[in-house]
Amino acid sequence: MRALPVLLLAAIAAAGAPAGAADLLEVYRAAQTSDAVYAGARATWAAGQEKLPQGRSGLLPSATLSAGTQLNDRDFRSRDPSIANTSSRFNSNVLSLSITQPLYRPQNLTVYEQAKTQVAQSDAVFALSAQDLILRVAQAYFDVLLAQNTVELAAAQLTAIGQQLEQAKRNFEVGTATITDTHDAQARYDLTVSGEIAAKNDLEVKKRALSQIMGRTAPPLSSVGARFTLVDPEPNNMEAWVKDAFSSNLQIVVSQAGLDFATQEVERNRAAHRPTVDAFATYSDTSGGVSGVGISPTDSTTRVIGVQLAIPIYQGGLTTSRVREALANEEKARQDLENARRSADFSTRQAFLGVTSGIAQVKALAAALVSSQSSLDSTRLGQEVGVRTQVDVLNAQQLLFQTRRDRAQSVYNYLMSLLRLKAAVGKLSEDDLAAVNNWLDRP
């Protein structure tokens, strides 16, 4: 760990954190309860958990209770004149209970295994959404800080160039400078005014983006403070991180579950060729009224228990076609998994290089900031003794302010690379966000 000089950190957080400023963890916790994308992911996860009881239901008995009543109105007319016509009206009622228990249904067993796979996949997808929320919050947070830095630097640059413009005007009035110096300073001043307007507009946009995630107006934010340190990846070996990503990257876990489900889908469709065996039991209670002259009301009770075997023979090629379809989907899932592995390899290497090169860039820009300040001081002194022009001073000022902004951006990029590296191996958590939060200058 290499601490950066406090003097250089002042370029990022010159005024410190404003009173009542929120830190990164506070913003993240607000987003956890308000972000619509994360809330949608939570609802999707809750729906995914229901796949397990749905899949298990195919292995458990099913029971159906049915009841019915009907009014019977009968007229009996005989063609034999000696037999009198008769009529009757009566109710008949039936109550039936049927229970079926699958004994051998390979399709149902495969559906249950698929349900387990879907639940595991929904867990991984939700964990991926949680990591995505951390990254989105951190990115939006640092985007606001960078936009604030840009506005502050634009205002400071406008003040400095304004002083140069006033000096150029005075020098021209007393005849020690040409009108060209005044025009150069005026042009730089006008451009800086335009840049400040654009910077303020960009800051407002970045605040709106953060507000969208938080679900409320973005509060003042804590800036990176003097506690900030440059930390090497642990372990400081790219291949070790890539190996870790292959085993725990969440997108790989999701894709692997997708392949497992597709493989099980092939087995489920093939099982449609196999026979099924069910045990069943039925109880029926029927009662009827008088249905004719001399006939008494009747009641009957029926109890049935048995085993039913069903053997599929031919369904017009439907089952075979579904097997071929499932095999094609399995191959697609296999290719999706391979793509997820390659993407994890790329994102891990990119994030690792972002951390290691970010360390070098922050240090280089810290040194460049000192050099730019020295260059500006030397140029101003040269102008006073007549060896440097107004344009030289303006250029030196421009370089100094650009270096300050670049260095601030390099710090935020480094912090995001740290978080993305953890996300690439599926291990980004609130603890990692808390570690970054400890580097903020909280009031």
What is the spatial distance between Cα 93 and Cα 87, in angstroms, rounded to a whole number?
A: 20
What are the boundaries of each domain within the chain?
A: 2-59+106-273+318-437
List all residues 6 or more positions away from 242 whose beta carbon is below 8 Å from its beta carbon: 344, 345, 348, 349
Q: What is the pLDDT of residues 117-149, one digit of tens each?
A: 999 999 999 999 999 999 999 999 999 999 999
Return the structure tokens found at 180. Answer: 């060209």
The pLDDT, as a whole number, for residue 4 is: 41
Say yes or no to pLDDT of 222 above 70. yes
The pLDDT, as a whole number, for residue 8 is: 44
Return the structure tokens found at 5. Answer: 């000089």
The pLDDT, as a whole number, for residue 11 is: 45
Q: What is the pLDDT of residues 238-285, one digit of tens each?
A: 999 999 999 999 999 999 999 999 999 999 999 999 999 999 999 999
Say yes or no to pLDDT of 396 above 60. yes
Say yes or no to pLDDT of 72 above 90. no
Output phi, psi for 67, to 5 deg: -145, 150
Q: What is the pLDDT of residues 174-201, one digit of tens each?
A: 776 678 777 877 887 888 888 899 999 9
Q: Tell how far CA 335 is from the center of its chain.
A: 22
Which residue type occupies 111? V
Domain 2-59+106-273+318-437, CATH homologous superfamily name and number: Outer membrane efflux proteins (OEP) (1.20.1600.10)
The pLDDT, as a whole number, for residue 296 is: 66
| Nearest in space to 435 (alpha carbons), one of 23, 147, 22 | 23
**% of the chain surpassing 70 pLDDT:** 93
Reported as a pLDDT band with limits 50, 70 and 90, residue 204 is very high
Which helix (H) or strand (E) segment holds residue 123: the answer is helix 106-174
Return the structure tokens found at 230. Answer: 């440059």
